[in-house]
Amino acid sequence: MKRTVILGTGHYVPPKVVTNFDLEKMMDTSNEWIVQRTGIRERHFVEPGIGSSDLAYEASIRAIEDAGIDKSEIDFIILATLSPDHYFPGVGVILQAKLGLAGIGALDVRNQCTGFIYALSVADQYIKTGMYKRILVVGAEVQSSNLNFSTEGRDMAVLFGDGAGAVIVGPNEEDNDRGILSTHLFADGRFLKDLWMEKPSPKDNPVFSNKMIEEKRYFPRMDGRSVFKNATVRMPEAVKIALKHNNLTIDDVDLIIPHQANYRITELVARSLGVSMDKVMSNIDKYGNTTAASIPIALDEAIKSGRLKKNDIVVLTAFGSGYTWGSAVIKM
């Protein structure tokens, strides 16, 4: 069976930069608090009217160019997001139309911060079975339009940013062992309320009510400490399971790309795996947490900066709302 290789990567963040000092003007917070507790210095926010599909399109164009393929070669799209342009249909079909690829299948993945790893895992199965030859896998998010930028919402509002990352995958046609070695996916839905956007919900009739708006229940909410604790346990656990599965040790790994949730979480993941931060990718200072986009953005940056080279072993890991978590091991 041919392994799935990454043929090209790309990312895009909107031009508007919002610093911690900008947030200081909107709520009772400080640059010092945000940097110390999260490692974030700035993030990018879209202008009104720009959706996840727009960011996904820009990242996709870059990945297609990087792969050196014609977009018409793409035979399937998988798009991970928690912030679709609309309640329905999904963003995958909107991206498909924007790319001028009417006809091919487009699948939305709704697994939040772990969305890209879930999406990559699905793509891997399709490539390995020979069902598709060129899959566009994207993580794209617009978070900034639904965060509570008052002091009441500061625990969430300072964390998130907008952006998108994309990869093109296909079968390894060469005589070598490069490609995706494994993906491991996990979830525990008992924790759904630890990090969720409760409303609007079709469980309510009518779906929209003044009460829901007055109570501001349409903003995402989280139990930050629980998320923090679980993230620092589940990500190293998922990496260790993946390494064992592939008969690899941590010394065989050239780079770990964890979901960019909080620099302190990343440091604790590194410590738990017994590696220094030299082996761990972090770009949260520039982008904040871009949910499903964080791993493909970091992957693209790692490749383009030369930190990740051909034949290197990279381990991706993520944890987030659901709870969902997982890992992927790739020989680049």
Binding site for ligand UT7 (CB under 6 A): 29, 33, 37-38, 113, 154-155, 158, 195, 222, 224-225, 227-228, 231, 261-262, 289, 320
CB closer to ligand UT7 out of 57 and 228: 228
CB closer to ligand UT7 out of 52 and 289: 289
- Shortest reach from residue 225's CB to ligand UT7, in Å: 5
Whether residue 165 contacts residue 318, with contact meaning beta carbons closer than 8 Å, is answered with no
Provide φ and ψ at 279, rounded to 5°. Answer: -95, 5
- Shortest reach from residue 265's CB to ligand UT7, in Å: 6
CB closer to ligand UT7 out of 53 and 262: 262
Residue nearest to ligand UT7 (CB): 224
What spatial distance separates the first Cα and last Cα of the chain, rounded to whole Å? 17
Provide φ and ψ at 181, rounded to 5°. Answer: -85, -35
Of 257, 191, 279, 200, the C-alpha closest to 228 is 191
CB closer to ligand UT7 out of 113 and 243: 113
How many residues are listed for the chain in this entry? 332
Please list the active-site residues: 113, 259, 289
- Shortest reach from residue 286's CB to ligand UT7, in Å: 16
- Shortest reach from residue 180's CB to ligand UT7, in Å: 23
Of 228, 291, 224, 231, the C-alpha closest to 82 is 291
- Shortest reach from residue 197's CB to ligand UT7, in Å: 12
CB closer to ligand UT7 out of 14 and 220: 220
- Shortest reach from residue 264's CB to ligand UT7, in Å: 7
Q: Which ranges in 139-283 belong to alpha helices (H)?
A: 154-157, 210-214, 224-245, 263-273
CB closer to ligand UT7 out of 2 and 196: 196
Distance CA 38, CA 203 (A): 35
Cis peptide bond prior to 202, omega within 30° of 0? no
Distance CA 92, CA 233 (A): 32
Q: What is the number of H-type helices and E-type strands within the chain?
A: 11, 13
- Concatenated DSSP letters of 145-180: GG---SGGGHHHHTTB--EEEEEEEEE--SSS--EE
